[in-house]
Amino acid sequence: MNMKIKNQWAFAFLLSAAVFFPGKTVAQDNAENAGADEVITDVAKVTAETQYGKVAGYIQKGIYIYKGIPYAKAERFMAPVAPDAWTGVKSTRNYGAVAPHGVRTGWAQDEGAFYFNWDDGWADEAKCLNLNVWTPGLNDGHKRPVIVWFHGGGYAEGSSHEQAGYEGTNISKKGDVVFVSVNHRLNVLGFLDLSAYGDEYKSSGNAGLLDMVEALKWVHNNIANFGGDPSNVTIMGQSGGGGKVYTLCSTPAAKGLIAKAVVESGSGPKVMERKYSQLLAAETLKNLGLQPSDVAKLKTLPYEQLLEAGNKAIATLHQQCAKEGFWAFLIGWSPVVDGNILPHQPMSAETADLNRNIPFVIGTVGNEITGAFNGAFAKDDLTATEYLKKVYGAKADAFIAAGKKAYPQLAVKDLILVDNFFRPCAIEGIQARVAMGGAPVYNYLFTFNPKVMNDAFRCFHCSDIAFGFDNVARYSHNNGGSAAAVRLGSIMSNGVIAFARTGNPNAAGIPQWKPCTAKDINTMIFDTNLRQVTNFDKEMMDILNATPKFSF
């Protein structure tokens, strides 16, 4: 990315109990807990019904788990359709195929690979339209809240299980909720807009978006069989997944399928306009040496060749934008405002009738991607001050003063690592929601810094995910797994569960959390010092919003 363009508590309790209540021996305690993690695969016990056929998962820790359930199928560039029905019982015990998205280069950076500890899975273009379900019970008459998770990676990469923080067992068990995670088409397969080359391709620029709508339709039609309430579905996503949440809430075909929404570090509500998406398609054809009359050849072209041509086209257009002096961030793989599938930019005033009655939680983390540049320009306050003068010019002193007011504990060299993109975008989204009237919108800022890898990442992009799903211990590479982290994860997941159930995130351990208003951005700070603040960084945000995004 060109940055110039824009259960350790449980163990402690048991240990203290052994001291003060020494009646149990270790052998007795082990006997009582034997089988707590037993895996049950008996088909008679783990079979569930879907509209397309029966599926068999497994039970672990009391949670029924199903992975890789097909929710649709699609030909390349075409809108998704119903998957093929099957007879007998389909085994759904392993994660299904993920959407192709090239080769992850991050493995070459040892510290980053340790920090994220990705699971890249296996890719298959024809089989990637699948989802995963975690539930406490089947056909038991319960109407549990449903959480549907859309992964990050922009619209270009990622998967439903790439991070351990996405796993649904803990949140399902703790909150008595049904958790669903989704795979869908990405990058050139999901968002190459070929609409200029015939009506056959009218949906190609939004194929991946239509996949997500189909997943929500599957949830609506099938989740009652898995103990869920189809009328109480909360969609959640982080980074690009947050953008997907904004977009789905503004997509007419998804109306009535979404009750609540959570955006974590969403990368801004805006998506591509058709004039740019069609330009990108034309450049892709050019890179392949194809004429418009040859567009049908793209259907059978090897994926790697197609992706290379598309990514090269994005790079070329970004260079042109830089020369012509306008912002190129919105040229790339994303849905398209096409006047039909997506009539308007997400969260614009024109979408109010679709989403004004959906309660939202919108939040970010303290450093986001800026933490990755720690060593680049944060050596001392003097170096940092000189850098800020280059970025903000005459407003540098005002920025430092506003930053020290908002974050009095930070030195200037740390102040410049405060997120300068995602929080301003979040506030923009909040203000748009408030202006619509209707359902409340809540804001949070996650600032817990585990100081892993010699504090190389700070409070980094994705840091909050595992906490919201009570997966801190499961994803300890990312958060350190300390007692403080586990406790914060317990509290934050309380808020997620409460919001999914009622539309209000106030819950045990969380101070009074007020929704935002036209006047006040009320922000819940998730850290060891949990608190709500109001307009605490307004002066800083005003300066940032007057500066081109991605100025760092």
Residues with a known catalytic role:
239
- Phi-psi label, residue 414: left if phi above 0, alpha if psi -120 to 50, beta otherwise: alpha
Q: Count of alpha carbons within 13 Å of 375, Cβ hemisphere only? A: 4
- Are the CB atoms for 331 and 310 separated by under 8 Å? no
d(CA 116, CA 107): 10
Helices 8-20 and 483-502: crossing angle, nearest 10°? 110
- Spell out the alpha helix ranges (H) of 360-444: 374-377, 381-392, 396-406, 412-415, 422-436
Q: How far, in Å, CA of 118 to CA of 107, rounded?
A: 9
As a whole number of angstroms, the distance between CA 272 and CA 329 comes to: 9
Contact 261, 148 (CB under 8 A): no
Report how far residue 538's alpha carbon sits from residue 525's, in angstroms, rounded to the nearest whole number.
Answer: 15
Structure tokens at 105: 């280069």
Q: How far apart are CA 430 and CA 520, in angstroms?
A: 11
Nearest-5° angle of CA 263, CA 265, CA 266? 60
> What is the distance between the alpha carbons of residues 63 and 216, in angstroms, rounded to a whole number?
22
- Can you say how many angstroms the Cα of residue 185 is from the centroid of all Cα atoms in its chain? 15
Residue type (1 letter), 509: G
Answer for the pair 411, 326: CB distance below 8 angstroms, yes or no.
Answer: no
